[in-house]
Structures are given as structure tokens and as C-alpha cells.
Amino acid sequence: MTDNTGTPLVEMRNISISFGGIHAVDDVTVDLYPGEVVGLLGHNGAGKSTLIKCLSGAYQADSGDIYVNGEKATINNPRDARSYNIETIYQTLALADNLDAASNLFLGRELLTAAGFVDQARMEAETRKIMARLNPNFRKFQAPVSALSGGQRQSVAIARAVYFNARILIMDEPTAALGPQETQMVAELIQELKRQGLGIFLIDHDVHQVKRLCDRASVMKNGELVGTVKVADASEDDLLAMIILGKTPAHLAA
């Protein structure tokens, strides 16, 4: 369990955003510490994805502030987010199916030789290096990613983020549609990222996965924050009650 007494990696304070008069996110505050996974739970439409898109730069909040490492951050677009070492791994993974792992890892940021050609050998060597840290069992370096399993594809997407110095990862339902073995692979990847001091916001609606993968859970309902609890102290039923009833059980309330 991470120590939550220092400066958060990220603090989103009093974030609000409306669309056409509807409060998608209403005065929500959440934070994230190094080496921690915070699950964002709630039904579809609860506001969890909208909130996190303010951090990724996809949306701009109407009000509220974002702090990164204790300093106020200005995030107007995804490029700004990356400048604060914030990377998003979407459910679709945004991988080019016809390309191999190295070409995907460096897509749009290819390494070049002195003559200006794409340096495929160096890109593969760097990919092997980062994979040795994250997923030592990964072997299919020459295969197009369309031939990889779901867990292996997650490995490529995570390696791309980590290689380019992500310190804050946003993961959107990383185990959705994966079998038990693949889910275990992703769980091991997340544990390795925690050991390396990264902070992860994990968007999910599966309380079982949040119990398994997260240190804390922030539950949202109708655009508002129901509460944030330590996962070790909350049962799956507690988390479900927060999602459905919109209130924190008395024994978990601060």
C-alpha cells in the first residue's frame, strides 16, 4: 500500500463541467499518489470518464484546478497532458494492427539513422529493453499486433506510454473482454508499474476488478463524487452500495 502523506502526483480539485446545461461532473475532487492505483467506479453516465478526460486534455473543465506534483497545471489538450507525463491507454488501445510491437511503440516518434531512415533495429532493441522491464515473457517482437493476445496488446500500449516517461497513467477498463489468463497478465503489469512508482487512474465498472487491482476507489453517481475509500477496508457489497445508493456506508465514512 502506498504512503498517502506526501505530495500527490495528481490532484483534481473541485472539477465541474457541463454539457447543454447538464452537470456531467459537479464539484469533484480526487487525487493520486506515486505507486498507487485509484479506481474510478460508477454506472455509465456517472461522470467518471468525463472527469478523467479533463486530466487527459480531451475536455476542459468549466471550473476547478488540476495540480501535478503540487504545482498548478494547465491542460488544454492531450499534448499539454503529455508534457506533464500523463498518458492515456484507451480501451481500443489505438494500435496499428498491421505493424509490429516496435513500430507501434514508436508510431509518430520513429527513431532515425544518421542518414534519416527509420532505424528499425534500434527501435526493436529499445522495445525489447522496455518489455524486459514490464513483461519479460513477451516474445512476439516481429509479429503484427493483430496476431497478439489481448494481454500482449495491453503490454505494447503500456510499454509505449512508459517508454515516453509517463508517470501518470489513465487506463480505461484494461481487463474488459479478457480471459482469466490475460487478466492476470494485465494485473501483473499494473503491479510492476506500481513498483516503478507510477500512479494509475483505472476507470471501471467491475467492482471485482477494482477490489483486485486498486488501492483506493472513488465512486461517482450522477456527476457527483459519492466518496473515496480504501479498497482493503471495503467489501464488494460496500462498493456496489456506493454505486447504486449514492452514499458511503457508515463504517467507511471518514
Give how far Cα 105 sits from Cα of 40, 43, 58, 231, 248, Å: 27, 33, 22, 33, 41
Average pLDDT over residues 234-252: 92
Scan for cell 529499445, then name that residue. Answer: 126
Tell whether the model's pLDDT for residue 254 goes beyond 70.
no
Compute the C-alpha angle 16/175/157, nearest 5°. Answer: 80
Lowest model confidence (mean pLDDT) among 62-71, 84-93, 97-106, 192-201? 84-93
* pLDDT for the residue 17: 96
Spatial strand order in the sheet of 168-172: 86-89, 168-172, 199-204, 37-41, 216-221, 224-230
Lowest model confidence (mean pLDDT) among 108-122, 154-168, 215-229? 154-168
Lowest model confidence (mean pLDDT) among 52-66, 123-137, 174-188, 192-206? 174-188
* pLDDT for the residue 202: 95
- Give residue limits of the domains in the chain: 1-85+167-254, 97-165
More confident residue, 21 or 244: 244
Amino acid at 50: T
Tell whether the model's pLDDT for residue 66 goes beyond 80.
yes
Work out the number of other CB atoms within 10 angstroms of the CB of residue 108: 4
Write out pLDDT tens, residues 37-57.
Answer: 999 999 988 999 999 999 999
Task: Collect all residues with Cβ–Cβ distance below 8 Å to 106 and sequence separation of at least 6.
Answer: 123, 126, 127
What topology is assigned to 1-85+167-254 in CATH? Rossmann fold (3.40.50)
- Mean pLDDT in the chain? 91
